[in-house]
Structures are given as C-alpha cells and as structure tokens.
C-alpha cells in the first residue's frame, strides 16, 4: 500500500483518513455554527479547519466515502443560511495566506479564507489596495467573490469583476485553474457560484497602487436627492446614500481618489457614547415602545448631520461601522428603475408612520450603485444597478420584529425587477430567478457537470437553485 505521504486521498484507508483529519477536526462541543447577525444557526455533524490544500482534499475524500455533503464556510458573515448545513462543514479560517504579490502587473494571489482586513494589511505593506470595497472587511475573500459582493460607484463593478483567476478543488478531487481565457464557463459560474462549483483554494485578484480617498458627506432632503439622483450618482467615483425615512433625510457620501495628505473625519457624537451605547439602549426599549424607534432614528440622523470632509486610506473610507447584529436584506434593481422604486418605498413607509399601529423601522436604508457586468449570477449582470438595503438591528442580540417590513420591501423591489443579494435571505425560486438571469440554466448546467452528486450543495442551494420545497426557516435562531 502507498505511504500516507505519497498516496492519493482515495488510496488512504478510512481509519487512517480519520487519523489524519483528527488534528483539524473541531471538538464536538464546538460544532454549533452561528452567522454574524445571530439570525441563523446550524449544528454540522463535523467541522474541519484545514491548514493546507492537501487537508482540503482529505476532507473532501472523507465526505465522499461517508456519503456526506460538504459546505464551505468562511467567517459566517452572510445574513442568511447560505453557509448552513447539518452535515460536514469546512471552515477556511486557517487558509488565510497571501501566496503572491505582483506590484508590476498589479495583482495578488491569496487563499480563499483570508479576510479582507488581513488582505488590506498585506496589500498595504506592498503599497497596493483593492480597487473597490463594500462597507465591511470582516468577510473572507472567497465569500465576497462567490456572492458577488459589491461596493459603490457607477463605473465600478461588483468585487468579483476584479478576479483574474481561481484555483478550485472540484468534487472529484481534481484541481483546476480557471479564468476568462481558460475554462471560461466554469470561471463565470464560480465568481458568483454560491460555493457550488468547488472549494476555492486561491484567488488571483486585480489590485491597484495604494490610494487615499477624499470623502465629503452632507445631509439633504429626500426630494432633493431623488430629483437630482442621476447627477448625484455620477458626481464622484464612489457615491453612497443613507436614507432616514422617519424625517425624510438622506446622508450623502461622495468619495474620490486624492493625493492630499490624510485628514480623518467623522462625527464625534456618532462614534462615541451617544452614537453607540445610547442609541442601542433606545433601540432595545423600542422593542416595547415603538414610538422610540422613530425618536432614535431622528436622533441618530441628527448625530451624523453636518457637512464633513475626511481623507484617509481607501479601505478606511469605504468601511463603516455596522454597529449591532441585525436582520438585513438587500436587493439590486435596474438603475433606471431607481426613482420609481424609492418613491414607492417612501409612500409605503409614510403610510406606516401615519398609522398608529404601523411599523416603526430602524435606520437607515442604504443605497449604492454598481456598473454592469457579464457574470452569470451577478445581480448586476447586464445592467447598471442600484442596490437598496434595509436593516432591523438586534440590540444586545435580542430579536426584533422584521418580517412585515421585509415582506413589504420585497413586494416593492420585485415589482421593479429586483434581484436579491445572494448572501442574504430571500424568497425567490428557480422559476423567478430564471426570468431575471438569462444565464441561470447555464449556471445550473456547469454546477451539475462539475458536481453531479451534489456534494457541495446545502438547503440554500437546493431551495433557490434547484427549487426543492425546503423550509427557509429551518436554521432560524428564532423561528
């Protein structure tokens, strides 16, 4: 029999396979998995935390031998059951190294489990930076890529558009490198593939020389922003908006690259005792006295009001404090439908505020933009996009009502041809998704070709991509 050092995983006896995996197998006492928002929980039968690619192959081989599905998870930031499973889970937290930095050609190669925070630090050492970025950097790079996570900027695509190549471990145990020039269909299916096409071992990511952003923030009335939205959305490289419906105010952020020296800015009130602890206390009390939610939203809007100008490293401007665990959903609508959609949302919320028993939602509503792309399942595929996201905070981790608000919001964005952010919980099934994504069946074809037995699928994939009648609330922390 070949030695364990030279044998292929398929040659290793089952008992020896378990022995090899023992050092990376999480204790049975710690297999409960909870996402960052504390909204979905699962208990995998086993969790593995490999430290190298060969150990990934061993985990995959064990899953095949035991007839288990294998779900790959990073840090669990997706506010849905996208990562959840009751079978095998592979956590990528220790697959977190930068493998190559090329300053001349402006790319890096990094393992899929590296967090964006750690990637920023490594890029910074080489005077490089990501081209665009979302509001947080706690996620893994593979998680960002496989869900087409986005930042904001009318000329900037989702972050997956900056991927140059992927190294994948396929369901049959083989490794493959794919790009736009090599195995292009697999590449376009994988850079928004929901983890279904293989384990992302490494990512070649286009970057640019490190840069600073100069950000201007100002508060404007809702009607002024909507009437001038196209001008505002194109007025800077990176524009994002935070809408406070309770008082009809939108906080506008305009950021451009600059050579000016650093000059960090921010609302002292918003980032200290008043903005964090006092707001959270009143959000907690708002669980029992709904009128307080309107008061605290207006208070938070006031705390962050006033014109500000800040200059800092790009990722420090892009990132914002998400503050508290939360229920959240976000959909992408065609840019040309933005005005009508925002006005309809405003009309709905105004009616709720006028109703003594109406909902009193938390704040704010985030509005961002992205360029069109050609990624099969990207919400920006084939269209310029406006992203509209809403939250309901969970003060001190306590649950709050959110389903009525989210249902009404989804009813509105669906009417405006909205596509849900893949990392977030949504209600669409294959028939609806097929009408929104012309390449949906191409994606399914590639998924089934590279993983015919479905080893990388879970309830989320079976429900939304294959249409199986699975309960979307089975992993909910509070059903």
Q: Where in the chain is the domain with CATH 3.40.462.10?
A: 212-420
Tens digits of residue pLDDT in 270-280: 667 777 889 99
Beta-strand pair 163-169/199-209: antiparallel
Q: Is the peptide bond before 364 cis (omega within 30 degrees of 0)?
A: yes
pLDDT above 60 (res 479): no
Mean pLDDT of 130-146: 96
Give 304's pLDDT tier (boundaries 50, 70, 90).
confident
Assign domain 98-210 one CATH number from 3.30.1330.60, 2.40.30.110, 3.30.2400.10, 3.30.465.10: 3.30.465.10
Question: What confidence score (pLDDT) does residue 38 get?
Answer: 87
Q: Where in the chain is the domain with CATH 3.30.465.10?
A: 98-210
Give 4's pLDDT tier (boundaries 50, 70, 90).
very low
Give 8's pLDDT tier (boundaries 50, 70, 90).
confident
Mean pLDDT of 85-113: 98
**What percentage of the chain carries pLDDT values higher than 70?**
97
Residues in a beta bridge with 263: 311
DSSP character string of 79-111:
SSSTT--SSEEEE-TT---EEEEETTTTEEEEE
Close Cβ partners of 433 (under 8 Å, ≥ 6 residues apart): 440, 464, 465
Question: What confidence score (pLDDT) does residue 271 get?
Answer: 67
Tens digits of residue pLDDT in 167-217: 999 999 999 999 999 999 999 999 999 999 999 999 999 999 999 999 999
Give 2's pLDDT tier (boundaries 50, 70, 90).
very low
pLDDT above 90 (res 7): no
Buried b (16+ CB within 10 A) or exposed e, 289-323: eeebbbebbebbbbbbbeeeebbbbbbbbbbeebe
pLDDT above 80 (res 233): yes
Question: What confidence score (pLDDT) does residue 477 get?
Answer: 78
Question: What confidence score (pLDDT) does residue 28 get?
Answer: 85
Q: H/E element holding 280?
A: helix 279-285
Close Cβ partners of 128 (under 8 Å, ≥ 6 residues apart): 101, 103, 106, 108, 207, 208, 209, 210
Q: Quick one: fold of 212-420? A: Vanillyl-alcohol Oxidase; Chain A, domain 3 (3.40.462)
CA distance 337 to 319: 27
The chain-wide mean pLDDT, for the chain, equals 95
pLDDT above 50 (res 310): yes
Question: What confidence score (pLDDT) does residue 478 get?
Answer: 66
Give 476's pLDDT tier (boundaries 50, 70, 90).
confident
Question: What confidence score (pLDDT) does residue 439 get?
Answer: 98
Give 1's pLDDT tier (boundaries 50, 70, 90).
very low
pLDDT above 80 (res 111): yes
Ramachandran category for residue 382: left, alpha or beta (phi over 0 → left; psi -120 to 50 → alpha): left
Mean pLDDT of 431-438: 97
Tens digits of residue pLDDT in 365-410: 999 999 999 999 999 999 999 999 999 999 999 999 999 999 999 9
Contact 355, 123 (CB under 8 A): no
């Amino acid at each position: 029999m070949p030695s364990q050092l030279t044998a292929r995983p398929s040659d290793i006896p089952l008992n020896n396979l378990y022995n090899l995996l023992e050092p990376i197998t999480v204790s049975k006492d710690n297999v409960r998995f909870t996402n960052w928002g504390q909204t979905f929980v699962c208990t995998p039968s086993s969790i593995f935390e490999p430290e190298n690619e060969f150990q990934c192959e061993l985990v995959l081989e064990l899953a095949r031998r035991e007839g288990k599905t294998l779900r790959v998870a990073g840090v669990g930031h997706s506010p849905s059951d996208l990562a959840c499973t009751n079978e095998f889970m592979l956590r990528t937290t220790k697959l977190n190294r930068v493998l190559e930095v090329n300053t001349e050609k402006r790319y890096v190669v990094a393992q899929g489990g590296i967090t964006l925070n750690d990637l920023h630090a490594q890029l910074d050492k080489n005077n490089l930076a990501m081209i665009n970025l979302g509001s947080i950097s706690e996620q893994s790079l593979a998680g960002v890529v496989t869900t087409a996570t986005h930042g904001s900027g009318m000329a900037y695509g989702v972050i997956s558009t900056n991927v140059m190549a992927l190294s994948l471990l396929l369901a049959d145990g083989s490794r493959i490198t794919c790009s736009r020039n090599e195995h292009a269909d697999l590449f376009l299916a994988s850079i928004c593939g929901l983890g279904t096409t293989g384990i992302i071992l490494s990512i070649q990511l286009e970057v640019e020389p490190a840069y600073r952003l100069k950000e201007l923030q100002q508060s404007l009335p809702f009607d002024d922003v909507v009437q001038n939205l196209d001008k505002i959305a194109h007025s800077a490289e990176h524009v994002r908006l935070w809408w406070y419906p309770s008082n009809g105010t939108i906080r506008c952020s305009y950021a451009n690259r600059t050579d000016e020296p650093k000059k960090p800015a921010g609302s002292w009130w918003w980032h200290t005792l008043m903005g964090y602890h006092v707001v959270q206390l009143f959000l907690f009390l708002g669980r029992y006295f709904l009128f307080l939610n309107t008061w605290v939203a207006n208070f938070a809007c006031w705390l962050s009001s006033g014109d500000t100008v800040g200059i800092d490293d790009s990722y420090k401007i892009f990132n914002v404090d998400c503050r508290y665990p939360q229920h959240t959903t976000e959909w992408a609508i065609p840019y040309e439908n933005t005005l009508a959609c925002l006005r309809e949302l405003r009309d709905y919320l105004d009616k709720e505020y006028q109703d003594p028993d109406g909902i009193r939602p938390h704040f704010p509503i985030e509005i961002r933009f992205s360029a069109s792309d050609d990624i099969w399942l990207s919400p920006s595929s084939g269209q310029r996009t406006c992203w509209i996201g809403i939250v309901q905070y969970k003060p001190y981790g306590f649950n709050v009502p959110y389903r009525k608000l989210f249902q009404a919001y989804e009813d509105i964005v669906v009417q405006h041809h909205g596509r849900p952010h893949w990392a977030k919980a949504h209600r669409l099934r294959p028939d609806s998704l097929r009408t929104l994504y012309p390449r949906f069946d191409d994606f399914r074809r590639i998924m089934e070709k590279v993983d015919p037995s479905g080893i990388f699928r879970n309830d989320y994939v079976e429900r939304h991509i294959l249409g199986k009648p699975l309960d979307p609330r089975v992993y909910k922390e509070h059903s």
